[in-house]
Amino acid sequence: MRKLLLTLLALTLLPACATSPTGRSQLMLISPEAAIVESKKAYLSTVSQLDQENKLVDDPKLVDKVATISGRLVTVARQKYPQSTNWEWSVAIIDDPETVNAWCMAGGRMAVYTGLFNKLKLTDDEFAQIMGHEISHALANHTAERMSRAMATSLGVVAVGVASDNSGAAMMGAAAAAKIALELPNSRTAELEADHLGMRLATLAGYEPDAAITLWQKMARSGGSAPPEFLSTHPAPGNREAQLAGMIAEMRGLNPDGRMAPVAPVEIVR
């Protein structure tokens, strides 16, 4: 029985691979479709709680800014990544002036914290870089990839427990490992991938690629001794600014006239 379980665990890992939009091999034990389903459940639960706490912002000026910039990025995303055409694109603007953060789940469900605007004084171009980066995480299936890493960790713990005849402890360890893994940030490789894809989205949507550099400079300066939440969940290599700068010439060639993309409808969660 022990050998059978270990064999099944090993076989589970064999076919689980995919390729990201940049050609990188990805571990995929969870399909992108399953990640979208699970993300929707989590998003609806989060939004419901925010609504009960009266944390959802509906200020017309901020809503228009977020909807317009996100809408242009979604237009480009749909053009370049047809699988996202039928995603339920939406943004929750969260009233939290101290939190500098934003995210996008699998399936196009996003959130923006008011601390981004209050603390960083973002230009439209800088905000487009943030949202382009977050949308790219979803387009590149980073949610499914991170969930898969958690599952692989869990399976490894289970295998150790089975091998040592301690299956009860193994299952408890697997559950804890999965929770920890799901709460960990994306890998640096995934972050750099989102940097590149996000700059492309923002540039094709009509926003300045240079803003990626000024954005990260602002991020680095904000928060004093306590880094903003965005940096804690978005690991940055020391040469990130140089890598971003090295992409600018390529990006300018994508949209030399800076033509603005049409605004796709994006639901602002009220």
Catalytic annotation, residues: 134
- CA gap 115, 121 in Å, rounded: 9
Alpha helices in the chain (DSSP H): 2-13, 32-52, 60-80, 115-120, 124-139, 142-163, 167-183, 188-204, 211-221, 229-233, 240-254
